[in-house]
Every structure is written in C-alpha cells, then in structure tokens.
Chain A
C-alpha cells in the first residue's frame, strides 16, 4: 500500500470519528437478511464469483456493525427483518388507467408539469412501451456509443464490463465505511454505471430519467461513475415521482471517480414521499455519496435539492486527493410538517492547492428539524488548501428547528478556511412588503424562498432548476397563513 493510499484509507474509513459518535445499543435481527439471501440475489443476477464474494464480505462486516445514532434525527427502530431485500419494493399494483391512481398523486404530477404519458408510467399504469420514448432512448444510446461512453444499469455493466466494475466498485465507499454502506454493498439491487473515456466531453446531461422507464432500481441503489483523464460529465439523479411507499428504507451508494483534469457534476432532486401531515409514513433516506478527485486538477461538484423523505441522512463528500483538485457542494434542504433532515458534506483535502466550496441552504417549516453537518478536513499533505463554507438557515413559523454542526480538522498551517453562517426567519415585514405589491402569502413565500436558494439553483441544469422551484412550492404549500 502506498503512502497516498494509506491517507486515502484513513480518510475514508475513519470519518465517523469526527464528532459523529455512535452509542446506540442495537439488536440486529438477522432473520430478514441472511447469507442465503445475499447468495440468492447474486445468483438471480447471474453475478461472477468475485461480486458474490464482495457481497458476502460486506454482509459479514454489516453484521458486526451498529446502526449509527449521531445524526440529529429521530425515527422508530428499523426492523431489518421486516424489509424485503429483493422482490417486494417495486411490487406495485398495475392500474388500468390514470383514473384509478391516487388523485393527490396526480395533482402533484400536474403541478410538476409531467406529461400525461409519463404520469401513467410513474403511477404504475400498464402502458405499452410508448414508441416515442423507446426511440428517444435508442437514439440517445447510439449517440453515447459513438463517443465511447458507457451508460447502463450496473447489473448490465457487471455482465458486459466486469473488469471495469471490478476495478472501481467499492474503492471510494468501501463496505466497512458505515452501517448503511455495508448493507447496500451486501444487497444492492441495481443502479447506474457510467464510464467516460479519456478526453470525451459527454454531449448531453445523463439522466436517470432515461433509465427509470426501463427498470425499477429498488431501494438499495448503487451508482458508479468513472471519468477518465480530461473528460467531463453532468449526471442528473431525478426522483420526480413522489413514491407513496410507507416508511421504507432507502440506502443508496454513489461513487464518483475523476482522473486528471476530469470533471463530474452530479445533481440530485429528491422528493420521495415525506410522510403525511401528522408524520406518518415516508421514506427513510440514508445515503452514502462520495466522490474521489483522484487526478490532478480534477473537479467534483455535488448539487442537491432535497424536499422529500421523512428522514434524510446524507453527506455527499469529496476526497481531494489530486493536487489542484476542486470539490463543491451546493445544497438546498427543505423540511416541512414532521420531516427531519441531517445533511451536509465532507471535504477531505489531501492534495496540494486543493480547493473546496460549500453552500448550504436549509429551510424548515411546520414541526420539522433541519440540520447541516459538515466536515472540512485539511490533511498534513494538503499545502495551501482552501475552503469556503456558507450555511444559511431559514425558519418558517415557531415550531421548526434549524441546526448547524460544522467540524473543522486542520493539520496544515498553510490552510485557509472561511465559514459563514446565518439564520433568518421569513419576517412579517418581508411578507407584508410583498403583499403590498399585490403578492399573496403563498406567492410571497415562493419568491422569498427562491431568492434564498438562488445560489444553489443556478448550479442546476436549467430544466432541473425549474423543477426544483416547483417542488419547493409544493413542499411548502400551506406553511404560512
């Protein structure tokens, strides 16, 4: 193991030391999840021996781990025995027409401006696979193939490009990284694999949207993106469909690897079911997302808009290993009713002259709790590292909470670190000012909130930004007045 690898290892495996302590006594029921099940999943997918071994090892690690409890969230103990790991999650009843779908769901689709054909797919109406989208999909694949880009489900990739997957899987988020990462590594269902060859600039935004129709990825999604030297890709993870699943656990892993002079831009709009107004139901979203800036002058940029899920626990991070590499994190997290979010980022500076930038906007309404948790770690080797962090919170009403937990670990004196934080309330005076110009309360709140989030929205691809704004409006509906 080289010295660099050792540092990397420390950086990736040791991160929960930093204030993220675990003290829960957890009895894990092994019954729902067993070695047989892991073997079953692997066999179903016809996986090679090395991947089965990888899963089994992860399972072994997971069994020895404890569920983390350091996040500022409360939720009932998850019964891992009660979770279906392979078949059940997407077992939705097929409907004959949209008339049979939940009217509230349709209302949401309408507000989001989702075309009627897509509404049908999202709501689970049995449709013949729309010739149109089939052809869009095909021409899209062709275009990518011409420049040598691989974009397919990770299960397919395991079959078609086993060496590539084997080379990179688990190198940024190893199974032992954390409880949910181990769980995912053992039972991951499917996800995306993207490979951008040397010097290729991906000609379009890659979106899960193009995949969602083809297959259901299930609750343990796994994404791996590799950008070779001098390449560029922008990847959109969209969850436009507010899924109605009850209290379901989603534990995904996303790994990004950027070689010399490569750039990866990863954008997420997450609006999974947040539970009802009393806080019943909703998704538990426990995700490990991490990017490795492996090469010199590489860049990884995370942009996320989180409006859904009952509980969110997620820290898209960057390991800045290459000299002059850059990590960015732009986040809007909105919580309403009884939602809880504990989200932020980790910027691990290893290479010289590495730079990172964090812009986090938290909006809390109702009885929700919204926490920013971020770690900036400047290692000894990281000469002249620079970080800028800005964490702004906005409160709507008297019963919600906003919290900021910034952690700094600086082991090199040449580092420059700047941190700014603000907490504001949507003031009666701001509302009245907007009212006086003819805007109703809802419109006024949208305007003020969108202004508050502008720095993050402008990082999103155009059509995504519009969608994000609409989502914000929907999730904050009825939170004033």
Chain B
C-alpha cells in the first residue's frame, strides 16, 4: 500500500528525514516511536503533502502511484488520512458541514452526485456511536472550544466517516485520559480491516496496549534505526531510548 524509499526531507535547509524507508501492507498496523525531534511529525506531514518541506531525494509510492508531486487534497482523496496532533479550529463551520463538504468533494472527483441527506445522517449516526461522541458536537463549530480529548475523538470520528485506506495517527494519545484512550482505540480497532492500514505515531507504549501493532519502529535522527514486533515497544517502555543510542554508537 505504502512504500517509502530513501526519503530525504528538509525544512529551512535543515535536513529532518535522512534516507527514511518503510513499507506498509494492507491490514497492517505500524507503530513509530522515538524521542522528541527525531522527525516523526515531519514524516506525517511529508506523507500528507504539507508545503514547507523540500524533498531532495527518494519516493513515496501509494497504491502503486508516486504521490510526491500530488497536492495534499489529491493525496487525501486517494485515501490518506491524518489524525492531527493539534486539530485546527474553524469558527462557524460545524463538524456536520465540514464532513458533508469533505465527503461530497470526494464523491465529485469520483463522478458521483452529492450524498443524499438521509444517507449522510445515517452514516453520521453510525460513526458517532463508534467513537461515543455526542450529537451536540456535530453542530458546534469545528474544534472550537473542544477539550483536548474531544478534539482527538473528533479526529477519529472524521476518520471513521472518510474510511481511508491509510490512516496516520500523529500522537493521538497525547493529552488523553485513560477512558478517552480506550474509546479512541476501540474506534480504531473497529475500523481496522484487511484492506486498510495504520501508522501510529506515539511516545508511549500505553496506546499500544489497546491498538496492537504488527510492527514497531524506532525512529532516531530522521530514519528508522530499529524495527521489531510489539515486544520492542515494551522494551522501550522499560529501558528508555538510551540503549538504542548506545547500540548506534552515538
């Protein structure tokens, strides 16, 4: 589904990703861990096509297509979703209207008519139940005045609505209490199937108790330095990152 090869990305002449490689297949969950400032969020931004980054080398193949030249909205419509670490507020735009616009824009590009109102409402109801989000959030301005946990839950709700092929969760667990964490994880687990894939960026092993990854990668200095299964996350939790630095000789 996703294959990133020898990716180099920099911002303001500072190289953040240095020969980054990963391959994600349908049905897989990959966790990416690592200390602060190692390029985890940059990776999420570069895959989704945020401006401001210079890509000097490498390729990102998604569903067999090179996507580096595509705009962020084109990538999104291909099925890439990012659950933001810091979801943005859009005053005056309700979650309902935002989702309606997003879904219909996608349908337009597929040559389909806008979704019928009844069908849309049914879909909303179903997905709201999935992430246990209250109806009242749907008519409020997007993320405006939402608590940290509410914002994250709203991200997962949007993911459920849009049913992406590849979802990137950028530190979705940060700022969540244990109950919210369980709800978010439950949502992800229910959406998971053999055709889609997840990249879960996190600092903490805690989330991975609920969203069990097939692979755990440790990122350091702009690339993956160690990969393993879910046990690697536990080891990191117990021993920290220093032993990896020692292994690397830095």
Contact = CB atoms under 8 A, between A and B. Distances in A.
B102 interface: yes
Nearest to B80: A436
B82 interface: yes
A454 to B, nearest CB: 4
Task: Categorize the interface residue count of chain B.
Answer: 20 to 34
A450 B93 contact: yes
Interface in B164-209: none
Nearest to A430: B88
Given A428-B51, A452-B92, A437 B141 contact: no
Given A435-B76, A439-B73, A454 B92 contact: yes
Contacts of A127: none
Contacts of B72: 432, 435-436
A439 B88 contact: no
Secondary structure type dominating chain A contacts: helix
Contact of A438 (B76, B91, B92): B76
Contact of B162 (A438, A448, A452): A438
Interface string A432-459: 1111111111011001101111110000
B209 to A, nearest CB: 28
A455 B71 contact: no
A450 B49 CA distance: 25
B112 to A, nearest CB: 13
Interface in B102-156: 102, 105-106, 109, 141
A429 interface: yes
Interface string B72-105: 1100110001101001101111000110011001
Contact of A448 (B77, B93, B102): B93
Given A435-B72, A437-B162, A438-B162, A429 B92 contact: no
A361 to B, nearest CB: 10
A450 B105 contact: no
Given A432-B50, A432-B72, A451-B141, A439 B101 contact: yes
Interface string A219-233: 000000000000000
A465 to B, nearest CB: 13
Contacts of B158: 437
Given A435-B71, A435-B76, A447-B97, 17 more contacts: A428-B52, A433-B88, A435-B49, A435-B73, A436-B72, A436-B76, A436-B81, A437-B98, A439-B102, A440-B71, A441-B73, A447-B90, A447-B98, A448-B93, A451-B92, A453-B92, A454-B92
